């Protein structure tokens, strides 16, 4: 579980940095808010899918 948390935190830091760079360059002001929302949902979903896929499976015991 710890690996998954670290991966997600790193991914969201990357998204925040990219958003900040686009904000400062003025690119975000040219994109309609609907598309910003759609792309944000896609980016968050992609991050969660990548984090779950790359996390190590946990074993709870023998069955």
- Please write the tens of the pLDDT for every residue from 8-59: 888 899 999 999 999 999 998 899 999 999 999 999 899 888 888 876 666 6
Residue 60 forms part of a structural domain: no
Question: ∠ at Cα 16 (10, 58), nearest 5°?
Answer: 25
Residue 18 forms part of a structural domain: yes
Residue 36 forms part of a structural domain: yes
Angle formed by the axes of helices 2-25 and 33-54, nearest 10°: 150
Residue 59 forms part of a structural domain: no
Residue ranges making up the domain that contains 37: 2-54
How many structural domains does the chain have? 1
Residue 62 forms part of a structural domain: no
Identify the band that residue 62 occupies on the pLDDT scale cut at 50, 70 and 90: low
**Distance, CA of 40 to chain centre:** 9
**DSSP label of 63:** -
> The tokens of 49 are what?
């899918």
pTM recorded for the entire structure: 0.71
pLDDT attached to residue 7: 84
pLDDT attached to residue 63: 55
């Amino acid at each position: 579980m710890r690996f998954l948390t670290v991966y997600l935190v790193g991914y969201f830091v990357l998204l925040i940095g990219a958003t900040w760079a686009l904000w400062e360059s003025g690119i975000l002001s040219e994109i309609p808010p609907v598309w910003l929302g759609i792309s944000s949902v896609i980016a968050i979903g992609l991050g969660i899918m990548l984090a779950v896929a790359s996390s190590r499976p946990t074993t709870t015991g023998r069955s």
